[in-house]
Structure 1
Amino acid sequence: MEFRRVYLDNSATTPVKDEVINEMVDVLKNYHGNPSSIHQFGQDVKPLVEKSRQSVAKLIGAQSNEVYFTAGGSEADNWAIKGTAFALKNKGNHIITSKIEHHAVLHTCEYLEKFHGFEVTYLDVNDKGMINIDELKSSIRPTTILISIMFANNEIGTIQPIKQIGEISRENKILFHTDAVQAVGNIEIDVNEMNIDMLSLSGHKIYAPKGVGALYIKKGIKIHNLIHGGAQERKLRAGTENTAGIAAIGKACELAFENLNDHTKRITELRDKLIKGVLEKIPHTIVTGDREQRLSTIASFCFRFIEGEALLLSLDMVGIAGSSGSACTSGALDPSHVLMSLGLTHEIAHGSLRLSLSDFTTDEDIEYVLEKLPVIVERLRSMSPLYEAFQKGENK
């Protein structure tokens, strides 16, 4: 197969769909007013913001007045966790999360521990990346005010038992937040049915541009503001609205709602073809994450006896874009905290590869990867002293 460009790093960021671009350009060209202004230019924009709010709400089963726009998923995570901690600090100081959360959650929890005296329990996961429900239950204290568990992991794709976690939270009168940045648009979500109190999402994971996201806050829940200033977003999130970005994320959510079933079915088939082909063609390969409770978009592997950085560079030379762990930790030499939490050794975790698919991924893309990847892995292993020792029976 001749050279082609294959983008399989969609969990880091997706391309922007044409329909979303058109929506955004229309707002940039024709609706430049500030929606907070009382003149007609401002009032012309306001309905567009509210239309997008309704589209976001519809995708997750919420009411539109429960959706607040942010600058992205990291801000939404920070707001949910810090806002809850500071609002409920007189009630308790204990938070429960997991060891495989995105750093937007982990570093926020660490900040609260270090500077504000909060206590955080970081739940272990099994070798598939799943938390233990019994451990969650036993970690609850009288002082527990928040449980924050991600919906689906950004590196290995494992989907947590969110509805069950929500039920436990509700029974114990504890607020439940989920980082659903990877899940929204890829899994059917109903925040009420799943007992979710707060949910974070991001535009650039669902074919909208970077720099816009949202936080769902269940009606009746009061948390502190993260950003202070003007009275935007019903006085809860200050800052002039990013109207073009908001229009874009609204359109992306509208498309995701319309296409969810077809999107999931097609990408799942491509993902399964990719995983099956890799396992058949490349020995000493581990699929990371749960094989069943898994995002349709993520195929993640660890290849023994090679370095992930060398693998990524080699793939890039043949036009294939992937990642080793999450984009937020690219450039770091330490192995992924997610992979280490699965119980993998440093040597195995260093050979990680995440290939993440999208609506733009084709069957030809997968065929191209299955042609190029085995050759690259074989070449890198031929230069590995660890692999040479393994072949000689010295390192099993």
Structure 2
Amino acid sequence: MRRRAMSLHPDTNTLNSYFDYNATTPMAGETMAAIQAALPLFANPSSNTLLAKNTKHIVSTARQNMAALLGAKPEQIFFTSGGSESNNWAIKGVLYPQLPKPGHIITTAIEHPSVLSTLGYFEQEHGFSVTYLKPDHSGAISTSQVENAIKPNTQLISIMTANNETGRLQPIESIAKLAQQRAIPFHVDAVQQVGKTPFSCTELGVDFASVSAHKFYGPKGIGCLYIKEPHNLNPLIHGGGQEDGMRSGTENLLALSGLAAAAEQASIHIEQWHGKAWQQKQLLMQLLDQSWLPVSFNGALSNQDALTNCLNASINGLRGEALALRLELNHGIQVSIGSACSNNKQKQLSHVLSAMQISEQTIQSAIRISFGQFTTEQDIRYLVAALEAEASALLGIGGKIANG
């Protein structure tokens, strides 16, 4: 009996109604093909045997491809399990040596939980002081805010490049220049931006950048930390000497093979993906404006100020969670009502939208729509039609937010 060949393409029927690309992206066909090709390879890359030649090549290719995508040198790329680990490593690597004289840290109130929780740990357990900069109504942090917050004992600045809920881009290059002038280590969480818009660690001038492969059509459980000066950061895991002694442990070959393919495809197609996403975002905003829906948009909208694949919108008077549930149950459409890393926690208002001083009622109505390379114009139109249908149904059954 012949076995059916494994499909090496995403399920297009599922992707037609998938609008949660900021949470995770489907693996591209090239990613799946690379992982499948690596399945028979079992030799340990740290071995000196002939069998290890191919596995060493996978690790080397992944490092070279990630360096090319990040505008960095291969020796500045260190593999991790993803964005949360990379954020933890950068922050802890900078702050642990400062434990005898804990100082001051600058971040924003709209960071990912893996940054906020880590900094909160140093604040509560080790006596560091943390300044949490508040964004303006568009979600922006200004360079002057950072400059005004700097103290003589500031030991770290950590700011995300693009927000996961609104897509708002921050003035990273100018903040990096400020940090360099003051000799303050500057870490960026670049998880949401890398693979969506051109990105260069060297041109931006950052010291650390966190990246996760599953945000740009790679596998989950693999990412990297860019370290400008590796000798300035303590190792994360001691042991066998992998990752130049910075993160010991046998390499995840299957994930690295997928990462190598995803990074290569992103480098090739990033301008095309960026342009296509902007066209689709403009279409989505136009269709929502033309609809009867009482829609308001949360955060910046232009392609200079925000990611082109993301739109945070509120259909005023409706609960976002009720709308999202009906979209999935009745249309198979998936949108988000917040970041994926916080949806499994106790229900609370978005800390991002709250920091932007958006009203509680508008926050309760908010949904995040994010799309990617597999999204079509037809999918966008299907989404808006479904939004109209389900909003109408919710209004008819009293699924409105109570006043007061």
TM-score interval for Structure 1 and Structure 2 normalised by the shorter chain: over 0.9
Report the alpha carbon displacement of residue 61 of structure 1 after superposing the two structures with TM. 0.6
User: Can you list the C-alpha shifts for 1:309-361, whole angstroms capped at 9, x where unaligned?
Assistant: 11111110211111101111224421110111111122211111111111000
RMSD value over aligned CA atoms?
Answer: 1.9
Match runs of 1:29-68 below 5 Å: 29=40, 31-68=41-78
Q: What CA distance in whole angstroms lies between the structure 2 residues aligned with 1:40 and 1:137?
A: 54
| Counterpart among 345, 366, 372 of residue 358 in structure 1 | 372
Query: Residues 6 and 310 (structure 1 numbering): CA distance in 2 closer, same or farther, change over 3 Å?
Result: same
Which SS does the other structure have where 1:320 is aligned? coil
Which among 269, 274, 286 is matched to residue 259 of structure 1? 269
2 CA distance for matches of 1:385 and 1:354?
A: 19
Deviation at 1:127, TM superposition (A): 0.7
Question: Contact between 1:263 and 1:359, CA under 8 Å: does it hold in 2?
Answer: yes
CA contact (8 A) 2:173 2:204 kept: yes
- Which residue does 2:317 correspond to in 1? 305
- Structure 1, 99-108 or 298-307: larger mean CA deviation: 298-307
Aligned pair partner of 2:363 in 340, 343, 349: 349
Q: Secondary structure at the match of 1:216?
A: strand
SS in 1 for 2:232: coil
Q: Please identify, of 113-122 and 83-92, the stretch whose mean Cα deviation from structure 2 is larger.
A: 83-92
Q: Deviations over 1:53-84 (max 9, x none)?
A: 01000111100000000011100000011111
Shift of 1:235: 0.5
Secondary structure of 1:192's aligned partner: helix
Query: SS at the partner of 1:12?
Result: coil
Inter-CA distance 70–197: structure 2 relative to 1 (3 Å threshold): same
Letter in 1 for 2:133: L
Choose from 220, 227, 248 the match for 1:238.
248
Following the alignment from structure 2 to structure 1, what is the Cα–Cα distance between the partners of residues 191 and 14?
Answer: 33
Question: Would the aligned equivalents of 1:268 and 1:297 in 2 still touch at CA under 8 Å?
Answer: yes
Q: Which residue of 1 aligns with 2:19?
A: 8
Contact 1:91 1:143 in 2 (8 A): no
Structure 1: distance between partners of 2:15 and 2:335: 14
Tell me the equivalent position of 1:101.
111
Against the structure 1 CA distance between its residues 258 and 4, is the aligned structure 2 distance closer, same or farther, given a 3 Å change threshold? closer
Matched, 1:22 2:2: no
> Please, which moves more after superposition, 238-247 or 121-130?
238-247
1:248 Cα shift?
0.9
Are 2:99 and 2:126, in contact at CA under 8 Å, matched by a contact in 1? no
Counting only pairs closer than 5 Å after superposition, residues 146-225 of structure 1 correspond to structure 2 as 146-219=156-229, 221-225=231-235
For residue 336 of structure 2, give the secondary structure of its aligned residue in structure 1: coil
Corresponding residue for 1:370? 384
Read off the aligned partner of 1:303 and give its amino acid letter. Answer: I
Q: Name the CA distance, whole Å, in 1 between partners of 2:401 and 2:236.
A: 50
Q: Which amino acid aligns with 2:39?
A: L
TM superposition score normalised by structure 1:
0.93
Supply the distance in 2 between the matched residues of 1:45 and 1:250 (Cα, whole angstroms): 13
Deviation, 1:385, is 7.8
- SS of residue matched to 1:6: coil
TM-score, normalised relative to structure 2:
0.92
User: SS state of the match for residue 39, structure 2?
Assistant: helix
Moved more, 34-43 or 255-264: 34-43
Amino acid at match of 2:336: S
Does the 8 Å CA contact 2:318/2:399 hold for their aligned counterparts?
no
1:131 deviates by: 0.7
The 3-state SS of whatever aligns with 1:321 is coil
Shift of 1:88: 4.1
Q: How far apart are residue 4 of structure 1 and its match?
A: 9.1
Alignment correspondent of 1:130 = 140
Q: Structure 2 counterpart of 1:19, which letter?
A: E
Which consecutive residues of structure 1, in runs of 5 or more, have no partner in the other structure? Answer: 390-394
Q: Take 1:82 and 1:130, find their aligned partners in 2: how far apart are those partners?
A: 26
Separation in structure 2 between the aligned mates of residue 276 and residue 224 of structure 1, nearest angstrom: 50
For 1:196 and 1:76, locate their aligned partners in 2 and report how far apart those are by CA, in whole Å: 14
Letter of the 2:334 counterpart: A
Equivalent residue for 2:395, pick from 370, 381, 384: 381
The 8 Å contact of residues 161 and 190 in structure 2, kept in 1 or not, is answered as: yes
Q: What is the CA distance between 1:90 and its match in structure 2?
A: 5.5
SS in 1 for 2:45: coil
Over the matched positions of the two proteins, sequence identity in percent amounts to 36
Does the 8 Å contact 2:240/2:249 carry over to 1? yes
Structure 2's unaligned 5+ residue stretches are 1-12
Distance 1:245 1:84, change over 3 A: same
Equivalent position of 1:329 in the other structure: 342
The alignment partner of 2:160 has SS state of: coil
Q: Deviations over 1:115-170 (max 9, x none)?
A: 22221111110111101322210111111111111010001000101111111111
Change (3 A) 1:324 1:282: farther
How far the C-alpha of 1:220 sits from its partner, in A, is 5.1
